[in-house]
Structure 1
Amino acid sequence: MTVIDQYLTKSRAIIDTVAAQTTAIELGARWFADTILAGRMVHVFGSGHSRIMVEEMWPRYGSFPGFNPIVELSLTFHNLVVGANGQRQAMFLENVPGLAARILRNFDLSQQDTALIISSSGCNVVPIEMAELFQQQGIRVVALITRDHAAQSTSKRADGKKLTDFADLVLDTGAPVGDAMVHVPGLDTPVAPGSTVGGALLVNCLKAEVARLLTEAGHPPTVLSAGVVVGAERAVSLFESAYDEHAHRLARLYERVGLPSSVGGG
């Protein structure tokens, strides 16, 4: 089997793993749809390369408002690799206790909200604390992890708790321990990770099911769509409408945040 065949074969197995989670995906999507129908937002967070799944959810073609992508550049900006804003700093910061609380201090949360927290290992401090804080606010948490990898990984948190300890529902990317899936002859370390494949499948299954539920409830989502599909004029209208709806939903997260002021109840 060639290395390409290896990756494709293991990716097909990941599809089967995701398919086996249909009931769980439907449950998570129901929670998310209820949040969106209530005029609130689904908070989506991931540090490191889990940011990929956050942006896969929203905003991009085929997605719609109702999701609050929480992306901290200090935890996810990998382009420079070394030097200022390098990868070493990002990997350090995602294990700093208390950072999650400072991030969520910016939002006025509600028990009508829900959260999707992505972390392949489920062992880094910031995503774990993020899930814990959401649960303390009475917010349901869906964790997207790589189950086998998380089971064999050691939590960076002092008490040893992992993301799954603060999740109401757990979804599995189906990737192997260590994530990399291909073994090259003569190379003693595997290459080509698989969690992105499984994560993207899960995120888009959730997205599709949420869209179905919203539509059946009489509130079809405003989907970012390509001009070649819906025509240039309607594409512009959909984008503008979707962005405006996102702004209106986001405004509710800021309206009464924190301390009282002359313009907000706090």
Structure 2
Amino acid sequence: MSVTKQYLEKGSDILSVVAQQESKIQEVAKLFAKSILAGRMVHLFGSGHSRMMVEEMWPRYGSFPGFNPIVELSVSFHNLVVGANGQRQAMFLENVPGFAAKIMRNFDTSKEDTALIISSSGCNVVPIEMAEEFKERGIKVVALVSSLHLEGSTSKKSDGKKLTDFADYVLDTGAPLGDAMIYLDGLDSPVAPGSTLGGVLLINCLKAEIAKILHENGKSPKVLSSGKIVGEQRAVELFESAYDEHAHLMAKLYQNIGNKK
């Protein structure tokens, strides 16, 4: 069997893992939709390559406001690889205790908010502490992890706790321990990871389910759409109105920062 067919076969297995979580995906979608219907936001966080899942949710074509993509460049900017802003620094910072609290100091959250934390291993300090910070604020947390990788990994947090210890719901990408899925004869390290594949499937299933709930409850989402589908003028109107709605939602997260409650 060719390596392409091997990867596609393993990808099919991942699709099956995601499909088996349909009822949980729908539960999480209801939770997130409730925040958006209340005029609040779903906070998204992922360090390292989990940042891709954050940006997959919003903003891009087929997406809509209601999400706060928390992307810290210091722990997710990989393009330079070495030198200033290199990968070594990002991987180090990803495990610095207290960093999450500094991130969260920027936001005035509400118990009506919800959060999605993405981490393949669920064992790096910053994503774990982000979940812990949300929980301390009374916010429900959903963890998106690779269960086999999490179970086979050791937490880098001093108390040994993992991301799932602070999650109300857990979604599984279906990727294997170590993430990479293809083994080649004579090469001891596998290639071609699978967590992104499973993560993108989960994100877009959630996105579709949330949109359905919003639409059925009289809050049809302002979806970023191609002019080839809705017409050029309508596409521009949707982009502008969606960005405006996002700005208004974000404003709520800043208005009471630093005020004692």
- TM above 0.5, yes or no, is yes
TM-score, normalisation: structure 2? 0.99
Letter in 2 for 1:31: L
Map 1:169-188 onto structure 2 (within 5 A): 169-188=169-188
Which runs of 5 or more residues in structure 2 are unaligned? none
> For residue 137 of structure 1, what is the aligned residue in structure 2?
137
Fraction of identical pairs, as percent: 70
Moved segments of 4+, more than 3 Å: none
SS at match of 1:192: strand
Map 1:161-172 onto structure 2 (within 5 A): 161-172=161-172
> For residue 62 of structure 2, what is the aligned residue in structure 1?
62
1:186 Cα shift? Answer: 2.1
SS at match of 2:253: helix
1:184 Cα shift? Answer: 1.4
Which runs of 5 or more residues in structure 1 are unaligned? 261-265
1:61 Cα shift? Answer: 0.2
SS at match of 1:203: helix
SS at match of 1:83: coil
> For residue 87 of structure 1, what is the aligned residue in structure 2?
87
Q: Are positions 1:200 and 2:192 aligned together?
A: no
Letter in 2 for 1:145: V
> For residue 263 of structure 1, what is the aligned residue in structure 2?
none
Q: Are positions 1:123 and 2:123 aligned together?
A: yes
1:231 Cα shift? Answer: 0.6
SS at match of 1:43: strand
Q: Are positions 1:252 and 2:223 aligned together?
A: no
> For residue 212 of structure 1, what is the aligned residue in structure 2?
212
Cα deviation, 1:125-148, whole Å, max 9, x if unaligned, reads 000000011011110000000000
Aligned partners of 1:201, 1:116: CA distance in 2, in Å? 15
Aligned partners of 1:62, 1:216: CA distance in 2, in Å? 18
Aligned partners of 1:151, 1:67: CA distance in 2, in Å? 29
Aligned partners of 1:57, 1:126: CA distance in 2, in Å? 20
TM-score, normalisation: structure 1? 0.97
Q: How many residues align?
A: 261
> For residue 228 of structure 1, what is the aligned residue in structure 2?
228
